[in-house]
Amino acid sequence: MPGAVLAVALLTLGFAVAGPRLGRRLPPSVAVRSLVPALAALAGSGLFVLAVTALTWLGQFPLVAAVWPWSPTVLRAHDPIPAPGAGLALAVLLVLAVSGAAAAVRRGRALLAMRHAAAGLGTVVVIDSDRPQAYATAGPGGRVVVTTGLLDALDPEQRAALLAHERSHLAHHHVWLGLVADLAAAVNPLLVPTARTVRHALERWADEDAAQQTSRRTVAATIARVALLPTPAPGPRPAPIAGPADSGPGRSALGATGGEVPQRVRALLAPPPRPARAALAALAVLAVATIAATVIVERDGEDLFERAAHPAAVAAVVPPAQPPRPGPAAVPARYAA
């Protein structure tokens, strides 16, 4: 088991490092469709392996062992993970579980708030406001919300590009895909950069869809123009679609090409993305290997706990109940010899 646990850790780390690089090489729709399930699988594996590791240690405590029951002696004898390591796994597991739960609750509440706010309105909601704003909400019943302030700043072709972009978000359920990536990152911070790559790929996917309906140049110009619109009301800049650990404006490691918005424009001015089979294969190998290692951890864990739960092992620790033997006091005094 220790080998498999280490393998899961290293493979997750490998994916965390390779994910963003490989994801950027893939066409956006392929990147999203491959990275999101991989993120979910990796996040789940991480939690599972932590739980099994922690349990091998927790199970050694008599109080816990008595519940199933298990033999703490057997667990201690085979002690696959040394106690400090397993204790650390438990601590990390609790922190990540809380982080994941908190993230899920916050987003669940925001989803309900949006649903409530947009109830009864049409699929495209135009709000009379100077503030430039345009977004798509999560389905079912997803809507496009856009302000007159934004529409007025664009020409008819650019307006078409904007709406086509937002409609692509609705059609392909992008908000939900982004939420899965977010939660995976909340539950495994190593996956934060990959989740950010997914967020960027979701926008690129919608951009490419909009480019099909108008032209790559039109969409590029629309993005740049919208980004450069002044916000009339004095207030904070719109908060970016940020990953869990990101609270500032969109930043990227590629300083020269700027943050994500300039990258979107540049990508549209470049030739359309082409399939990258090698990158896809590499991602698949990493994900499958991690799942395989997780399965080995599960198998080893099952073996260990089955042995510990074996009746003979348990009996050695907890003697079987014996019928009470009558003591001398049970014999009435007058019959005593």
Residue 240 is classified by DSSP as P
Does the N-terminal peptide bond of residue 2 adopt cis geometry, omega within 30 degrees of 0? no
Which is closer to other proteins, CB of 44 or CB of 259? Answer: 259
Interface residue with other proteins among 31, 96, 201, 220 (CB under 8 A) is: 220
Burial grade of 131 (CB within 10 A; 0-12, 13-18, 19 or more) = middle
Cβ-count burial 272-290 (b if 16+ within 10 Å, e if not): ebeebeebbebbeebbebb
Q: Confirm or reject binding of residue 251 to other proteins (CB under 8 A).
A: yes
Task: With contacts defined by CB under 8 A, name the span among 39-47, 82-90, 114-122, 316-324 that binds other proteins.
Answer: 114-122
Question: Of 316, 324, 323, 299, nearest to 69 (Cα)?
Answer: 316
Q: Confirm or reject binding of residue 106 to other proteins (CB under 8 A).
A: yes
Interface residue with other proteins among 137, 194, 197, 214 (CB under 8 A) is: 137
In the region spanning residues 266 to 285, those forming contacts with other proteins, defined by CB under 8 A, are 266, 269
3-class state of residue 332 by DSSP: coil
Q: Confirm or reject binding of residue 169 to other proteins (CB under 8 A).
A: yes
Task: With contacts defined by CB under 8 A, name the span among 29-37, 48-56, 233-241, 310-318 that binds other proteins.
Answer: 233-241
Q: Following DSSP, what letter does each residue of 2-27 receive, concatenated?
A: HHHHHHHHHHHHHHHHHHHHHHHHS-
Question: How far apart, in whole angstroms, are the C-alpha atoms of residue 247 and residue 237?
Answer: 12
Q: Confirm or reject binding of residue 261 to other proteins (CB under 8 A).
A: yes
Interface residue with other proteins among 237, 277, 325, 334 (CB under 8 A) is: 237
Interface with other proteins (CB under 8 A): 106-107, 109-111, 113-114, 117-118, 121, 125, 127-129, 131, 133-138, 145, 147, 162, 165-166, 169, 174-175, 178-179, 182, 202-203, 206, 217, 220-221, 223-228, 237-242, 247-251, 255, 257-262, 265-266, 269
